[in-house]
Amino acid sequence: MKYVIVIPDGCADEPQQSLGGRTPLQAANLPAIDALAAAGVVGRANHVPASLPAGSDVANLSLLGYDPLKHFTGRAPLEAAAQSIALGPNDCAIRCNLVTIENQQMRDFTAGHVSTEEARSLLATAAEQLGAGGRWDFVPGVSYRNLLIYRGGDTPPPFTADTRATPPHDLTDKSVLEDYPRGPGSDLLNQLMSDSIELFRDHPVNVARRKAGKLPATNIWLWGQGRTPAIKPFIDVYGRRCAMITAVDLLRGLAKLLGWTTIEVPGATGYLDTDYAAKGRYAVAALADYDLVCVHVEATDEASHEGRADAKIEALEQIDRHIVAPLAKALPGFGEYRILITPDHPTPLRTKTHSHGAVPFVIAGQGIAPSGQTYDEVAAARSNLAFDDGWKLMGHFLGKEQ
pLDDT digits (tens, 9 = 90+) for 224-242: 999 888 899 999 999 999 9
**Rounded (to 5) percent helix, strand, coil in the chain:** 40, 20, 40
CATH 3.40.720.10 residue window(s) in the chain: 2-72+230-398
Spatial CA neighbour of 159 closest among 226, 67, 228:
226
**In this predicted structure, what is the pLDDT of residue 73?**
86
**In this predicted structure, what is the pLDDT of residue 131?**
80
Task: Give strand ranges (E) for 30-90.
Answer: 41-45
Mean pLDDT confidence for 327-331:
98
Residue 385: C-alpha distances to residues 66, 102, 177, 357, 381 (Å)? 19, 46, 42, 15, 9
401 exposure class (CB count in 10 Å sphere: 0-12, 13-18, 19+): exposed
Residue 333: C-alpha distances to residues 3, 279, 288 (Å)? 13, 19, 10
Mean pLDDT confidence for 237-253:
95
- Tens of pLDDT along 165-213? 999 998 999 999 999 999 999 999 999 999 999 999 999 999 999 999 9
Examine the pLDDT at 401 and tell me if it is beyond 70: no
* Run of H or E residues at 243: strand 242-245
Confidence of residue 23 (pLDDT cuts 50, 70, 90): very high
d(CA 383, CA 43): 5
- Tens of pLDDT along 42-81? 999 999 999 998 989 999 999 999 999 999 988 899 889 9
**In this predicted structure, what is the pLDDT of residue 74?**
87
d(CA 76, CA 73): 9
**pTM of the full structure:** 0.85
d(CA 62, CA 46): 9
Torsion of CA 44, 361, 391, 302, to 10 degrees: -110
Examine the pLDDT at 402 and tell me if it is beyond 80: no
**In this predicted structure, what is the pLDDT of residue 400?**
80
- Tens of pLDDT along 252-306? 999 999 999 999 999 999 999 999 999 999 999 999 999 999 999 999 999 999 9
- Tens of pLDDT along 96-147? 999 999 999 999 999 999 999 999 999 999 999 998 677 899 999 889 999 9
Q: Are 274 and 247 in contact (CB under 8 A)?
A: yes
Of 36-40, 167-171, 286-290, 329-333, which range is least confident?
167-171
Per CATH, domain 2-72+230-398 is 3.40.50.1100:
no
d(CA 85, CA 72): 18
In the chain, the amino acid numbered 312 is: K
